[in-house]
Amino acid sequence: MTGGAGVPAVALRRVLLKLLRLVAVLLVVGTLVFLGMELLPGGPAEAMLGVSATPESVAALNHQLGLDQPLLERYASWVGGLLQGDLGQSFRTGQDVSAIVATRLPVTLELVIAGQIVALGLALPLAMVSAARRGTVVDRGISMMVFSVLSTPHFVIGVVLIWLLSVNLGWLPATGYTPLSDGIWPYLSGMIMPAVALAAAPFAQYQRVLRADLIETNSQSFMLVARAKGISPMRSAFRHGLRPSLLGLSTVIGITIGTSIGSSVVVESLFGLPGLGAQLVNAVQARDYPEVQGIVLVVAASFVVINAIVDALYTVIDPRLRQRRPTRQEAVTR
Amino acid sequence: MSASMRKDRTHLFALAWLGSLIVALLVLPPLRSLDPLALDSTARFSGPSGEYWLGTDDLGRDLLARALDGAKISLLVGLGSTAIAALIGVPMGMIAGYRGKAADAVVSFIVDVVLGFPGLVLALGLAAFLGPSVTNVMIAIAVPLIPAFARLARAQTMSLLTREFVEASKVIGTPTLSIMRRDIVPNISEAVLAFALVNVGRAILIEGGLSFLGIGVPLPQPTWGTMINEGRVYLTQSPAIILVPSVFMMLTILSINMLADRYLLDRTTVTGGS
């Protein structure tokens, strides 16, 4: 956890240990996802067939799913399949889960990226205004608004947006997704509201972290010099204060991208976006466990890898962080 | 001092809302014989009236009665799942922090694995596999909240290990369990409680999300999330169906967050920071 003296051998050892840990975490996550199906009451076949289950249909389905094989054998073939990119087949459609993921993952990624753009686009100016006008009515108003946003669920913000922009004003379609290839405006009109709904919580976190960091930067001597030269508070915040204050923000961005993947589940379902999250909800509601298993595994794996990359990036960006950096929970609850 | 007075007011607002919510959900239903499930076909989509204070939904069900019944579930699940998460996470973190080495490695690994899933996805997956019931929803929400408690307790315990009273206890040969109970627990409980408060808000948010997706507490039990989900269809006719649970939910989470913020602020000013 603590940083070494910077000896290359030590650094290399640490990187290797981290990689090993990453692989181990992925392995355990995968095994847990696999075992989840085993632990279903009455077994997956009965759970999937529901009330219409008869001993014959259960046996048939068990055979179809390969569940009549011994556990270890199935585990081995499941892992073997994973290594070849085989996530199993959907129970409802028989489609390859990996194919489902491949068509739906891009939509989720687009949404998450759009959400980040909106969140940063709103948080940067509002944090700078807040910091420059610290303690004034403006700052307090913004802080109160940000705090309220932090306490409002994504789906409430989404429903309010639909009510306002679709039902009342008729500006944007309430649901639906148009691919970018069909034109930039149809694409954007379907993406704006989901992006804003997804951006809400990250925006609030960014604003709070950046405001605090900007205020801290403001207390440093080079900012005093800037102001002594007669530069206006807004201008000095932009020209001199922003860059040194971005590090805390970059920490939170990494965390938020991860949690946004989780929040996209709700947002996609609400706005009818054909992303991975909406598909997961469909699969859960239809008790299509092979599909649930595959999607959860992909989401968890990408989550783990994203977090590891972000973690590694910090230490590259700022050597000081090798000594101490905020843990995830600190940054989340800040 | 104006800053602290300002804080005072917001925290009074938070207490007022939570207080009246709890009183209302205890007193109003028996007093006015409110029934969250009773249908009234003569009063569908009705506005606020003497009989239905906040109006009715598409089936003529009392929105106030449903919102209050939903509050019961939200508060129950919020407190319940936070309690489960704390009861599992805190001992884990204490052992990791106290024992270090292997115990620490094991706990850190478990924490890493749980954090390998986005919170909502893990809760969703667990809820799907456990099956729909209030208890299962509580468990499903508690699991993703465990790591934060474990990490907090671990860090707090580690910082206590170097303090004289703990070292003294160790030197005179006090059994580990007694040290934990008498020296560690009382000294980390305040931080854990403050953090638990933040998590009640988070848990209510997740519960709302699960209910909204139709994977939370089973029907016909009304919850804020299901009310909002069901009301979506009638957005044009009667936005109140969504507005009522949304406002209840927002004010409740906002109040809890305000109290947590206030509590954390007090703690840092009393103990002199960090």
Q: Where are the domains of chain A?
A: 6-83, 99-322
Is pLDDT larger for residue A152 or for residue B162? Answer: A152
Which candidate, B82, B229, B224, B209, places its Cα nearest to that of B144? B82
Whether the CB-CB separation of A201 and A215 falls below 8 Å is answered with no
B111 alpha carbon, distance to own chain's centre: 20
Which of A266, A304, A307 lies closest to B209 in CB terms?
Answer: A266
* CATH classification of the domain holding B70: 1.10.3720.10
Question: Cβ separation of B124 and A284 shorter than 8 Å?
Answer: yes
C-alpha distances in Å from residue B188, one per residue of A78, A157, B2, B105, B144: 44, 36, 31, 21, 21
pTM for the complete prediction?
Answer: 0.81
In a domain, B263, yes or no: yes
Point out the residue among B215, B229, B235 whose CB comes nearest to the CB of A162.
B235
Interface of A with B in 201-260 (CB under 8 A): 258-259
Three-class SS state of B62: strand
Touching check for A163 and chain B: CB below 8 Å?
A: yes
Is the pLDDT assigned to residue B1 strictly greater than 60?
no
Report CB contact under 8 Å: B125, A307. no
Q: What angle do CA A119, B115, B127 make, to 5 degrees?
A: 95
A131 inside 8 A of chain B by CB: no
What ipTM describes this predicted complex?
0.78
Residues B21-54, buried b or exposed e (16+ Cβ, 10 A)?
Answer: beebbeeebeeeebebeeeeeebbebeeeeebeb
Say whether residue A134 is in contact with chain B using an 8 A CB cutoff.
no
* Pairwise CB contact (< 8 Å): B118 & A162: no
Higher pLDDT, B172 or A218: B172
Q: Is residue B248 in some structural domain? A: yes
pLDDT in tens, B197-210: 888 988 998 898 88
Residues of B with CB below 8 A from A332's CB? 148
Across the interface, whether the CB atoms of B232 and A159 are under 8 A apart is answered yes
pLDDT score at A317:
62
Q: Which of B112, B124, B209 is facing A25, going by the closest CB pair?
A: B112
CB B164 within 8 A of CB B177: no
Range of lowest pLDDT (A215-224, B229-238, B264-273): B264-273
- Give the one of A151, A155, A299 whose C-beta lies nearest to B228's C-beta: A155
B19 inside domain:
no
Q: Is B106 on the interface with A (CB under 8 A)?
A: no
Label residue B265 by pLDDT band (50, 70, 90): low
| Segment A171-190 mean pLDDT | 77
In degrees to the nearest 10, what's the CA dihedral of B208, B210, B216, B217? 0
In-domain check, residue B20: no
pLDDT for residue A327 is more than 50: no
What residues in B contact A26, CB-CB < 8 Å? 116
Does residue B70 sit within a domain?
A: yes
Mean pLDDT score across all residues of chain B: 81
A253-307 residue pLDDT tens: 877 887 888 888 889 988 888 989 889 888 887 777 788 888 888 888 888 888 7
Contact list, B258 vs chain A (CB under 8 Å):
147
pLDDT in tens, B140-153: 999 999 998 998 88
Q: What pLDDT, on the 0 to 100 scale, is given for residue A44?
A: 65
The answer, yes or no, to whether residue A208 has pLDDT greater than 90, is: no
Residue of B nearest to A43 (CA): B129
In angstroms, the CA A315 to CA A318 distance is 5
Q: Is the pLDDT of residue A81 over 50?
A: yes
Whole-number pLDDT of residue A322: 54
Number of C-beta neighbours around residue B260 at 10 A: 21
Residue whose structure tokens are 């508690």? B142
Number of domains forming the structure of chain B: 1
Which CATH code, of 1.10.357.10, 2.40.160.10, 3.40.630.10, 1.10.3720.10, is assigned to A99-322?
Answer: 1.10.3720.10
Residue B188's domain spans which residues? 52-160+173-273
Q: Sorting pLDDT into bands at 50, 70 and 90, what band is A62?
A: confident
pLDDT of residue B143: 92
Dihedrals phi, psi of B209, to nearest 5 degrees: -65, -45
User: Is residue B3 pLDDT above 60, yes or no?
Assistant: no
Amino acid at A53: A
Dihedral pair phi/psi, residue B127, rounded to 5°:
-60, -40
The mean pLDDT of B244-248, rounded to a whole number, is 88
